[in-house]
Structure 1
Amino acid sequence: MHIRDLPYLDPGDPDVRSGPRFLYWLGRNQIRGQLKSLLWGLLHQCSIAGYPLGVGLAVQAVIDRSGGRLALAGGLTALLGVLTSVSDTMLHRSAVTNWITAAARVQQLLSRKTAELGSALTRRVAAGEVVAVSTGDVEKIGWFVESLSRFLAAATVLVVISVGLLLYLPSLGILVAIAMPFLALSVLPLLPRATRRADVQREKAGKATELASDTVAGLRVLRGIGGEDLFLDRYRRASQEVRKAAVHNARMWSLISAVQVLLPGVLLLVLVVYGASLARDGKVEVGQLVTVYSAATLTLFPLRHFEEIAMAYSFSRPSAQRAVRVLSLSRTARAATADTVPTGDLYDPVTGLLAPQGLFTAVVCGDPDEAGRLAERLGGHAQPEEREEAGEESAASGPPSVLLGGVPLDELDLDAARTAVLVQDKDPVLLSGTLRELLDVPSSGRVTARAALSAAQCDDVLAALAQASPGSDVEPLDTRITERGRSLSGGQRQRLALARSLITDPDALVLDEPTSAVDSHTEARVAAGVKALRTDRTTVAFSSSPLLLDLADRVALVHGGSVVAAGTHRELLLSEKRYRDVVTRDTGEEPAAAAGRDEEIGTSEEIEERA
Structure 2
Amino acid sequence: MQIQDLPYPDPGVPDARSGPRFLVWLGRNQLGGQLKALVWGLLHFLSVSALPFCVGFAVQAVVDRSGARLALAGGLLALCGFGIALGDTMLHRAAVTNWITAAARVQQLLARRTALLGSALTRRVAAGEIVAVSTGDVEKIGWFVEAVSRFTAAAVTVVLVCVALVVYQPALGVVVAVGLPVLALSVLPLLPRATRRADFQREKAGRATELASDTVAGLRVLRGIGGEELFLDRYRRASQEVRHAAVRSARMWALIHAIQVFLPGLLLIVVVWQGVHLAREGRITVGEMVTVYSAVMILTYPLRHFTEIAMAYSFSRPSARRAARVLSLERATDGEGSREALVPTGDLYDPATGLLAPEGRLTAVVCGDPDAAGELAERLGGHTAESSELPSALVGGVPLDELPLDFARRAVLVQDKDPVLLSGTLRELLDVPSSGDVSPAEALSAAQCGDVLDALVQGSLDADDPMDARITERGRSLSGGQRQRLALARSLVTAPGVLVLDEPTSAVDSHTEARIADGIRSLRQGRTTVVFTSSPLLLDHADRVVLVHEGEVAAVGVHRELLHSDVRYRAVVTRETDDEAAEQELNQLQELEEIEETA
TM over 0.5: yes
User: Do residues 14 (structure 1) and 4 (structure 2) align?
Assistant: no
Q: Confirm whether residue 528 of structure 1 aligns to residue 518 of structure 2.
A: yes
Q: CA deviation at 1:350?
A: 1.7
> Partner of 1:414 in structure 2?
405
Partner of 1:405: 396
AA at the equivalent of 1:93 = R
1:479 to 457, 469, 473: 469
1:584 to 574, 582, 589: 574
Aligned 1:287-302 pairs, distance under 5 A: 287-302=287-302
Question: How far has the Cα of 1:45 moved from its partner?
Answer: 0.4
SS state at 2:192 partner: helix
- How far the C-alpha of 1:589 sits from its partner, in A, is 4.5
* 1:481 Cα offset (Å): 1.5
Query: How far apart are residue 571 of structure 1 and its match?
Result: 2.0
Does residue 503 of structure 2 align to residue 513 of structure 1?
yes
Q: Does 1:33 align with 2:33?
A: yes
Q: Deviations over 1:441-492 (max 9, x none)?
A: 1111111111111111112222233333435x82111111122212221111
User: Which of the residues 472, 479, 488 maps onto 2:478?
Assistant: 488
Q: Say if 1:240 and 1:589 are closer, same or farther in 2 by CA, change over 3 A.
A: farther
Query: Secondary structure of the residue that 1:50 maps to in structure 2?
Result: helix
The aligned counterpart of 2:440 is 449
Deviation per residue, 1:219-256 (Å, 9 max, x gap): 12222222211211111111111111111111111122
Query: What is the aligned counterpart of 1:540 among 526, 530, 543?
Result: 530
Contact 2:44–2:83 (CA<8 Å) still a contact in 1?
yes
The equivalent residue for 2:420 is: 429
Is the Cα–Cα contact under 8 Å of residues 137 and 316 in structure 2 kept in the other structure?
A: yes
Secondary structure of the corresponding residue to residue 578 of structure 2: coil
Displacement of 1:383 in angstroms is: 2.3
Of 563, 567, 570, which residue of structure 1 is paired with 2:553?
563
Q: Aligned-pair distance for 1:294?
A: 0.7
Superimposed CA distance per residue, residues 238-290 of structure 1 (whole angstroms, 9 cap, x where no aligned partner): 11111111111111111222222222222222111111111111111111011
- Which residue in 1 is equivalent to 2:256? 256
How far, CA to CA, are the matches of 2:246 and 2:164 in structure 1?
42
- Aligned residue number for residue 321 of structure 1: 321
Q: Distance in 1 between matches of 2:575 and 2:559?
A: 15
Note the 1:238-387 alignment, pairs <5 A.
238-334=238-334, 336-338=337-339, 339-384=341-386, 386-387=387-388
Question: Displacement of 1:71 after TM fit?
Answer: 1.6
Give the drift of 1:111.
0.6
Match of 1:468 in 2: 459
Rounded Cα–Cα distance in structure 2 between residues aligned with 1:257 and 1:354:
69
Distance in 2 (CA, whole Å) between partners of 1:525 and 1:286 is 98
Deviation of the 1:592 alpha carbon = 8.6
CA offset digits 1:483-530 (Å, max 9, x no partner): 221222111111111000001111111111000011111101101111
Partner of 1:152: 152
Q: Distance in 2 between matches of 1:591 and 1:515?
A: 26
Residue identity matched to 1:348: D
State how far apart, in whole Å, the 1-side matches of 2:279 and 2:333 are.
74
> Given the two structures, how large is their TM-score scaled by the length of structure 1?
0.93
Unaligned runs of 5+ in 1: 391-398, 595-611
The one-letter code matched in structure 1 to 2:432 is V
TM-score, L = length of structure 2: 0.94
8 Å Cα contact 2:125/2:326 also seen in 1: yes
2:494 equivalent in structure 1 = 504
Which residue number in structure 1 is paired with residue 589 of structure 2? none
Partner of 1:106: 106
Distance 1:508 1:333, change over 3 A: closer
- Per-residue displacement from partner, 1:171-214 (whole Å, max 9, x unpaired)? 11111222232222222222222222122111111111111112
Identity across matched positions, percent: 73
Match of 1:442, SS state, is coil
**2:333–2:383 CA contact under 8 A, matched in 1:** no
Deviation at 1:333, TM superposition (A): 5.0
CA contact (8 A) 2:571 2:581 kept: no
Distance in 1, matches of 2:456 and 2:132, equals 35
Q: Higher mean Cα deviation, 104-113 or 259-268? A: 259-268
Q: What amino acid is aligned across from residue 517 of structure 2 in structure 1?
A: A
- Which residue identity is paired with 1:102? A
Corresponding residue for 1:549?
Answer: 539
* Aligned equivalents of 1:186, 1:414: Cα separation in 2: 54
Q: Describe the superposition over 1:136-158 as per-residue Cα deviations: whole angstroms up to 9, x where unpaired.
A: 11111100100011011001101
- Counterpart AA for 1:337: S
Q: Is the 8 A contact 2:202 2:315 kept in 1?
A: no
Paired position in structure 1 for 2:595: none
CA distance in 2, matches of 1:591, 1:155: 80
Using the alignment, how far apart are the partners of 2:579 and 2:239 within structure 1? 46
- Cross-structure match for 1:228: 228
Residue deviations 1:69-119 (CA, integer Å, cap 9, x gap): 112111211111111011101100110000000000000100111111111
Q: Give the Cα separation in 2 of the matches to 1:195 and 1:370.
A: 44
Match of residue 163 from structure 2: 163
The AA in structure 2 aligned to 1:580 is: R
Q: 1:436 to 1:26 in 2, by over 3 A?
A: same
How many residues get paired?
582
Q: 1:39 to 1:591 in 2, by over 3 A?
A: closer
Alignment of 1:111-126 (within 5 A): 111-126=111-126
Q: Counterparts of 2:306 and 2:58 in 1: how far apart (Å)?
A: 31
